[in-house]
Amino acid sequence: RKEVEQDPGPFNVPEGATVAFNCTYSNSASQSFFWYRQDCRKEPKLLMSVYSSGNEDGRFTAQLNRASQYISLLIRDSKLSDSATYLCVVNMRNTDKLIFGTGTRLQVFP
Amino acid sequence: NAGVMQNPRHLVRRRGQEARLRCSPVKGHSHVYWYRQLPEEGLKFMVYLQKENIIDESGMPKERFSAEFPKEGPSILRIQQVVRGDSAAYFCASSQGLGEEAFFGQGTRLTVV
């Protein structure tokens, strides 16, 4: 089983739609969780950290479920500019190593 | 504060030559990661280093590839005797460790001709 798994997509949604991605992780010792965004041929950029209590930043909401070992990202009122690949990242407590998922591709169409 | 600086941004090498990719982490960051990305594919972990130590190199090919992060100076990813299959974007990221997020450089795009 991969350490971090994501549905590769693509998710094709119209503008204004709500879309959600899940990411599962296998190591219960994971301590920190993040969502990154990567645009075509660019470097990944931090979108948001994921806290145990969940967190929201504008149209974006991230949640953590430790019992089921998954994190989620919800995007409301999708914009064309949200089209990108969204990477789930997990930090391992014992090694302090960041593990990246392979990403979920989102395409928002007019 | 300067972010993660990678150079060169683009590198062209002939088959059999050596490629040296440099990464200067964010000031104060002691953790460096190297990833490779082929077109239309996800990031593939290569190596994780802390100052002067390789912590995890499980993603590095056994031959021709090496990485270092010396006490002074940038982290270096070295590819000897490059082949066409080495053509890819190589991204470096740095973090403070302790569960903190990582920041990426703009990458080095290696083309082997």
B56, B89, B99 member nearest A32 (Cβ): B99
pLDDT at A33 over 90: yes
**Could you read off the pLDDT of A90-105 as tens digits, one per residue?**
987 777 788 889 899 9
Q: In a mutagenesis test of the A interface, which of B37, B104, B110 is the best target, namely the one with the most A β-carbons within 10 Å? A: B104
The pLDDT, as a whole number, for residue B83 is 97
pLDDT at A64 over 80: yes
Q: When comparing pLDDT for B35 and B97, which is higher?
A: B35
Alpha-carbon distances, residue A13 vs A48, A84, A101, A105, B54 (angstroms): 22, 12, 22, 11, 42
The pLDDT, as a whole number, for residue A75 is 97
- Confidence at A79, pLDDT banded by 50, 70, 90: very high
Whole-angstrom distance, CA of residue B40 vs CA of residue A80: 20
In the A/B pair of chains, how many CB contacts fall below 8 A?
57
Query: Both tokens of residue B51?
Result: 């100052």
pLDDT at B88 over 90: yes
Q: A46 vs B103: CB contact, 8 Å cut-off?
A: yes
